[in-house]
Amino acid sequence: MESQEQVAPASPDHTRFTHCLELIKQRTKGPVFETWFQKLELISLDETAIRIGTLNQFVKQWIEEGELLPLLEKAASEAFGRPLKAALVVKPRPQASPDSGTASVASAPSAAGTVTTTTSLASDGSRTPTGTTTPRPRGRLEPDSIVQLKDEYAFENYVVGPSNRFAHAAALAVVKNPGRDYNPLFIHSNVGLGKTHLLQAICHELVAREPHPRILYLSCEEFVNRFVTALSNHALETFRSKHRSMDVLVIDDIHFLADKRQIQEEFFHTFNALYNAQKQIILSSDSHPSEIPTLEERLVSRFNSGLVAKIEPPPFETRAAIIKKKALSRGCDLSDDVVQLLAQRIDSNIREIEGALNRLIGTASLTNTRIDREFASQVLRDLLGDDGGAVPLHEIADVVCGKLRVKLTDIQSKRRTKKVAFARHIAMFVARNVTEHTLAEIGSHFGGKDHTTVLYAIEKIGGEAERNPETRALIEEIQREARGRRGPR
In whole angstroms, the minimum distance from the beta carbon of 222 to Mg ion comes to 13
In whole angstroms, the minimum distance from the beta carbon of 266 to ligand ADP comes to 24
Q: Choosing among ligand ADP, Mg ion, none, which partner's interface includes residue 164 (Cβ < 5 to 8 Å by kind)?
A: ligand ADP
136 vs 351 by CB, closer to ligand ADP? 351
The one among 53, 66, 192, 469 contacting ligand ADP by CB under 6 A: 192
Instruction: Using DSSP bridges, classify how beta strands 49-54 and 41-45 pair: parallel, antiparallel or unpaired.
Output: antiparallel
* DSSP one-letter string for 91-112: PPPPPPPTTS-GGG---PPPPT
Distance CA 35, CA 140 (A): 31
> Can residue 282 be called a binding residue for ligand ADP (CB under 6 A)?
no
192 vs 469 by CB, closer to ligand ADP? 192
Distance CA 19, CA 16 (A): 5
Contacts for 63 with CB less than 8 Å, ≥ 6 apart: 36, 54, 69, 72, 88
> Can residue 279 be called a binding residue for ligand ADP (CB under 6 A)?
no
115 vs 193 by CB, closer to ligand ADP? 193
Q: Choosing among ligand ADP, Mg ion, none, which partner's interface includes residue 354 (Cβ < 5 to 8 Å by kind)?
A: ligand ADP
**C-alpha dihedral over 185, 188, 192, 195, to 10 degrees?**
0
> Can residue 350 be called a binding residue for ligand ADP (CB under 6 A)?
yes
Q: How many CB atoms lie within 10 A of CB 81?
A: 8
Binding mask 147-176 for ligand ADP (x = CB under 6 A): ------x---xxx----x------------
> Can residue 112 be called a binding residue for ligand ADP (CB under 6 A)?
no
53 vs 192 by CB, closer to ligand ADP? 192
CA angle 104, 106, 107 (to 5 degrees): 145
Sheet of 307-310: strand order equals 215-219, 248-252, 280-285, 185-188, 307-310
195 vs 425 by CB, closer to Mg ion? 195
In whole angstroms, the minimum distance from the beta carbon of 326 to ligand ADP comes to 7
In whole angstroms, the minimum distance from the beta carbon of 314 to ligand ADP comes to 7
In whole angstroms, the minimum distance from the beta carbon of 347 to ligand ADP comes to 14
> Can residue 104 be called a binding residue for ligand ADP (CB under 6 A)?
no
Q: How many CB atoms lie within 10 A of CB 115?
A: 25
Q: How many residues does the chain have?
A: 489
In Å, what is the CA distance from 378 to each residue of 132, 350, 360, 387?
60, 20, 10, 12
44 vs 189 by CB, closer to Mg ion? 189
Q: Which of residues 397-456 bind ligand ADP (CB under 6 A)?
A: none
CA angle 61, 65, 69 (to 5 degrees): 95
Distance CA 60, CA 329 (A): 34
195 vs 243 by CB, closer to ligand ADP? 195
Are the CB atoms for 154 and 204 separated by under 8 Å? yes
> Can residue 343 be called a binding residue for ligand ADP (CB under 6 A)?
no
> Can residue 35 be called a binding residue for ligand ADP (CB under 6 A)?
no
Number of residues that bind ligand ADP (CB under 6 A): 17
Distance CA 310, CA 50 (A): 32
In whole angstroms, the minimum distance from the beta carbon of 311 to ligand ADP comes to 7
> Can residue 115 be called a binding residue for ligand ADP (CB under 6 A)?
no
In whole angstroms, the minimum distance from the beta carbon of 282 to ligand ADP comes to 13
Contacting positions for Mg ion (CB under 5 A): 195-196
In whole angstroms, the minimum distance from the beta carbon of 351 to Mg ion comes to 9
Looking at this protein, which amino acid is placed at residue 7? Answer: V
Looking at this protein, which amino acid is placed at residue 82? Answer: R
In whole angstroms, the minimum distance from the beta carbon of 351 to ligand ADP comes to 4
Q: What residues line the site for ligand ADP (CB under 6 A)?
A: 153, 157-159, 164, 189, 191-197, 322, 350-351, 354
